[in-house]
């Protein structure tokens, strides 16, 4: 059982006239969404539940990306995968078809100049559910038989996409582009988390892994009622799988939004 943690020293208290909107994305990905939340008049705070780091050895990624012209399809599992791949190779061949899961990844491609007008991009058309399952519905699996497919992802992740493509007869290579870890639970973060749990706030949670990290953090607090307080927080999640994980962890106020920032904001604005 982990040791109970408590804050030491003084930290500046959070002050808001309304419940906070807590954005739990990695810091670098949270700024634009935070500005949009503030623009609709809500108090917003960033509480990242995942930190994104470069690989300790980037050579395997760089070597793989030198040969992407031979792939019939290149799939990115997240915006982080796109940013890391584009940093590893700048001269991107536009004739290689791309596949992404969510609206955030489409936006990341666009930031790097890769749009539907310049290259072929496959992504789920059902904006209410964007995941590997709905991406597979958009792919011509028969055309990928005996072809090479590259999946760019973090060091860990779901295997469903790769397994389904292999079952369809594709030759699948998976390459890591970044690593992710739970942030350190410093005294300042302990104090901030305790303050957030003492109120009723709206949390944007966009990763099942991040949600599990959050419950692990809360379990380490000195507050014996912290877990119960966390389970009463209102979560806004963009995917049915995250909602299922939230319910399994005891959360009772879970709102499922559509994919992407627009979906999260629409769900937030619909709340009383």
Are 103 and 126 in contact, with CB atoms under 8 Å apart?
no
Which of 227, 234, 229 has its CA nearest to residue 254?
234
Residues 124, 135: contact at Cβ < 8 Å? yes
Q: Which residue has the tokens 């992710």?
A: 180
Q: How far apart are CA 137 and CA 122, in angstroms?
A: 10
Sign of CA dihedral 111, 269, 52, 68: negative
> Predicted confidence band at 17 (pLDDT cuts at 50, 70, 90)?
very low
Q: Which domains does the chain have, with CATH numbers?
A: 21-50+183-269 (3.40.50.10090), 53-180 (3.40.50.10090)
pLDDT of 250 higher than 90: yes
DSSP β-ladder status, 171-181 and 51-53: antiparallel
Predicted local distance difference test score (pLDDT) of residue 161: 87
pLDDT tens for 120-150 read: 999 988 766 667 788 888 899 999 999 999 9
Task: State the average pLDDT over residues 174-187.
Answer: 90
According to DSSP, the residues that pair with 163 across neighbouring strands are none
User: 201 by DSSP, 3-state: which?
Assistant: coil
């Amino acid at each position: 059982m982990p040791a109970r943690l408590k804050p030491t020293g003084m930290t500046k208290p959070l002050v808001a006239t309304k419940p906070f909107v807590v954005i739990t994305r990695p810091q670098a990905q949270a700024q634009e969404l935070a500005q949009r939340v503030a623009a609709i008049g809500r108090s917003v705070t960033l509480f990242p539940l995942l930190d994104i780091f470069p690989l300790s050895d980037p050579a395997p990624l760089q070597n793989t990306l030198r040969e992407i012209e031979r792939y019939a399809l290149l799939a990115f599992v997240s915006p982080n995968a796109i940013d890391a791949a584009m940093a590893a190779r700048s001269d991107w061949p536009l004739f290689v078809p791309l596949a992404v899961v969510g609206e955030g990844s489409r936006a990341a491609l666009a930031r790097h100049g890769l749009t539907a007008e310049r290259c072929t991009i496959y992504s789920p058309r059902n904006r209410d559910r964007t995941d590997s399952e709905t991406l597979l519905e958009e792919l011509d699996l028969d055309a990928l038989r005996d072809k090479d497919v590259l999946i760019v992802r973090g060091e860990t992740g779901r295997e469903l996409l790769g397994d389904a493509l292999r079952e369809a007869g594709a030759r699948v290579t998976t390459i890591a582009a970044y690593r992710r870890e739970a942030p350190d639970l410093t005294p300042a973060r302990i104090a901030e988390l305790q303050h957030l749990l003492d109120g009723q706030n709206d949390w944007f949670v966009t990763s099942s892994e991040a949600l599990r990290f959050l419950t692990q953090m809360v379990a380490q607090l000195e507050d014996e009622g912290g877990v119960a307080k966390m389970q009463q927080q209102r979560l806004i999640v963009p995917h049915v799988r995250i909602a299922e994980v939230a319910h399994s962890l005891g959360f009772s106020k879970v709102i499922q939004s559509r994919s992407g920032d627009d979906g999260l904001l629409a769900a937030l604005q619909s709340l009383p």
